[in-house]
Amino acid sequence: MFNQLAERFDLIFKNLRGLGKITDSNIQQTSREIRRVLLDADVNFKVAKEFIDRVKGRAQGTKVLKSVKPGEQFIKIIHDELVTLLGSESKPLDLGSKKPGVILLAGLQGSGKTTTCGKLAAMLKKDGKSVLLTAGDVYRPAAIEQLVKIAESIDVPVFEQGVGDPVAICQSAVEEAKVSKKDVVILDTAGRLHVDGEMMTEIQEIAEAVDPSEILFVVDGMTGQDAVNSAEAFSAALKLSGTILTKLDGDARGGAAVSITEVTGVPIRFIGVSEKMDGLELFDPKRIVDRILGFGDVVTLVEKAKAVVDEKEAKELEKKIKDATFDLEDFRNQLNQLKKMGPLNQIVGMMPGMNSKMMKGLDLDDRQLLWTDAIISSMTPAERKNPDIINGSRRSRISKGSGRSLQEINQLLKQFAEMKKMMKKMGKMKIPKNLKQQMLGLN
Ligand SMILES: Nc1nc2c(ncn2[C@@H]2O[C@H](COP(=O)(O)OP(=O)(O)OP(=O)(O)O)[C@@H](O)[C@H]2O)c(=O)[nH]1
Ligand SMILES: [Mg+2]
């Protein structure tokens, strides 16, 4: 899911990370790139334009700020705006105080309503709630059968009256749920085209008759631009409280997700990630954006580490850390391996807890890797083995040899000392052993 978006943003960020300064021209260029990425992912052009305008505006604002890491700041703006665009926060079902709470599902034909009814019921049931499913799609006998089958599979009762008036059926279902003291009624409705006025009126009547706690718009995540049109129509007809985006386990390009929140003004609440009854996840904008932008993802980190760290080397390294014989030569090797894994800040960002206090004082700029390499190369083997012998005159020799300032030499030595300290802490850290080993590429 969202792989395409993720890959493309990754490229943009690679360029941004190297930025020494935010300027009009790099704001322009980045905006153009983002625009292309969004449009290729099927994000509605108006939504894309507004998004870019907001990012541009904020980037302009930071242009004058003297920032330590302008590129990172730019990335943060994009990140924050994407989270906002996707609705900021996750919002679980809110059934209010009424009993039963009523959930009405609406959407186009084949969008996944009936399946999602079952998934929601299964989720609520797991939460200890009693649920009544309702067959409000009376136009196809198969639709009722489908719901009955789903209900059986999760062991939840169904209210059905065969063919009849959907408004009356839904009302009766709520009455029935009251009598049998159910916590929640979920109403499955017929798929309708937004251009079909009669059918749109019908769903409005159902909503008026049962006064739902949640009116959820179910939309197929694989649909691109069309999703925006139907979202507009459904949100004009009904007081939607959220969207459920289905079929995101396919190769959905993610554009619909990005556009729909902006168009409907209501958040995406859940995403469908399989055909099965447990294939529904609470939608968490921050987590999704982090996923799209490659932040804070341990799994990816482990994969990346595995790809570049050879097992034998990793074991040797672990031993060195344990024995405290880790020297500057090893430090340089480590940095080179990190370099192979991708932008440093991204790597560090993926390590849980690593971007907090522990990393303070470590300045992670990718260009610095090259300079660090130059500095360490200008040291003698003895100095690399035992940095403590690097006194003032050795420092100035190294500075001349590497073409870097004395201050940088000092900083590197300090960094190395910090890193050793950090590794000692890592040895003592209370993270599960296998995670630590994974991070070191040991399994
Ligand atoms: N892979 C995948 N398939 C899904 C998901 N949600 C629904 N489907 C499939 O999509 C198809 C249509 O789903 P339904 O639940 O019947 O859709 P509907 O909106 O009730 O359709 P109508 O009642 O005809 O309007 C079915 O084959 C489902 O199995 C999902 O999250 N992932
Ligand atoms: Mg259906």
Over residues 61-83, the pLDDT tens digits come to: 776 555 556 777 788 888 888 88
* pLDDT grade for 240, boundaries at 50, 70 and 90: very high
Query: What's the rounded mean pLDDT across residues 165-178?
Result: 97
Residues 227-238 as b/e (b if ≥16 CB within 10 A, e otherwise) read bbebbebbbebb
- Of 379, 348, 341, the C-alpha closest to 362 is 348
Q: Ligand 1: residues within 6 Å at CB?
A: 107, 109-115, 137, 143, 191, 246-247, 249-250, 272-275, 279
**Ligand 1, closest atom to CA 108?**
25
Is 109 a residue whose pLDDT tops 60?
yes
- Nearest CA, atom 6, ligand 1: 112
Tokens linked to 215:
């009116």
What separation in Å is there between the alpha carbon of 320 and the centre of ligand 1?
A: 55
The strand pair at 214-220 and 184-189 is best described as unpaired
At residue 226, the pLDDT reads 77
**Ligand 1, closest atom to CA 107?**
19
Mutate to test the pocket of ligand 1, among 246, 251, 270, 271 (most ligand atoms within 8 A of CB): 246
Tokens linked to 155:
């062991």
Q: What's the one-letter identity of residue 138?
A: V
Residue 358's CB: how many other CB atoms inside 10 A?
A: 17
Query: What's the rounded mean pLDDT across residues 117-127?
Result: 96
Is 434 a residue whose pLDDT tops 50?
no
Dist CA 111 CA 246 (whole Å): 7
| Contacts of residue 105, Cβ cutoff 8 Å, sequence gap at least 6 | 113, 116, 117, 186, 187, 188, 189, 216, 218, 244
Q: What is the largest CA-CA distance in the chain?
A: 94
Please give the radius of gyration of the chain, using alpha carbons only, rounded to the nearest integer.
Answer: 28
* pLDDT grade for 347, boundaries at 50, 70 and 90: low
* pLDDT grade for 141, boundaries at 50, 70 and 90: confident
Mutate to test the pocket of ligand 1, among 119, 275, 283 (most ligand atoms within 8 A of CB): 275
Dist CA 61 CA 309 (whole Å): 41
Q: Tokens 């990816």 label which residue? A: 300
What separation in Å is there between the alpha carbon of 112 and the centre of ligand 2?
A: 7
Indicate the average pLDDT of the chain.
82
Residue 299's CB: how many other CB atoms inside 10 A?
A: 9
What separation in Å is there between the alpha carbon of 115 and the centre of ligand 1?
A: 5
Hey, is 68 helix, strand or coil?
Answer: coil
- Which ligand does the CA of 117 lie closest to? 1
- Of 225, 209, 208, 227, the C-alpha closest to 217 is 227
Q: What's the one-letter identity of residue 44?
A: N
Mutate to test the pocket of ligand 1, among 111, 115, 138 (most ligand atoms within 8 A of CB): 115
pTM tops 0.75? no
- Which ligand does the CA of 191 lie closest to? 1
What separation in Å is there between the alpha carbon of 430 and the centre of ligand 2?
A: 49
Hey, is 156 helix, strand or coil?
Answer: coil
At residue 325, the pLDDT reads 74
The C-alpha angle 308, 408, 370, rounded to 5 degrees, equals 30
Query: What's the rounded mean pLDDT across residues 197-214?
Result: 95
Q: What CA–CA distances, in Å, run from 429 to 60, 275, 303, 313, 416?
A: 42, 40, 21, 22, 19
Backbone angles phi, psi at 245, to 5 degrees: -100, 115
What separation in Å is there between the alpha carbon of 150 and the centre of ligand 1?
A: 12
Is 357 a residue whose pLDDT tops 70?
no
- Nearest CA, atom 21, ligand 1: 110
What separation in Å is there between the alpha carbon of 119 and the centre of ligand 1?
A: 11
How many Cα atoms occupy the beta-carbon half-sphere of 237 within 13 Å?
A: 26
Q: What CA–CA distances, in Å, run from 370 to 54, 245, 340, 384, 402?
A: 35, 45, 12, 17, 11
The strand pair at 280-282 and 268-272 is best described as antiparallel
- Which ligand does the CA of 193 lie closest to? 1
Q: What CA–CA distances, in Å, run from 177 to 97, 119, 183, 237?
A: 15, 19, 8, 26
Range with the poorest average pLDDT among 97-111, 243-257, 381-395: 243-257
What separation in Å is there between the alpha carbon of 249 and the centre of ligand 2?
A: 19
Dist CA 317 CA 429 (whole Å): 17
**Ligand 1, closest atom to CA 115?**
15
| CA–centroid distance for 365 within its chain | 24
Q: Are 385 and 327 a contacting pair, CB within 8 Å?
A: yes
Is 140 a residue whose pLDDT tops 90?
no
**Ligand 1, closest atom to CA 191?**
25
Residue 192's CB: how many other CB atoms inside 10 A?
A: 24
Hey, is 406 helix, strand or coil?
Answer: helix
At residue 90, the pLDDT reads 84
- Of 335, 322, 302, 296, the C-alpha closest to 441 is 302
- Nearest CA, atom 3, ligand 1: 275
Tokens linked to 128:
């200890």
- Of 322, 252, 321, 326, the C-alpha closest to 288 is 252
* pLDDT grade for 205, boundaries at 50, 70 and 90: very high
At residue 89, the pLDDT reads 82
- Of 13, 38, 32, the C-alpha closest to 262 is 38
**Ligand 1, closest atom to CA 117?**
15
Is 128 a residue whose pLDDT tops 70?
yes
Domains of the chain as residue ranges with CATH = 3-85 (1.20.120.140), 101-284 (3.40.50.300), 298-439 (1.10.260.30)
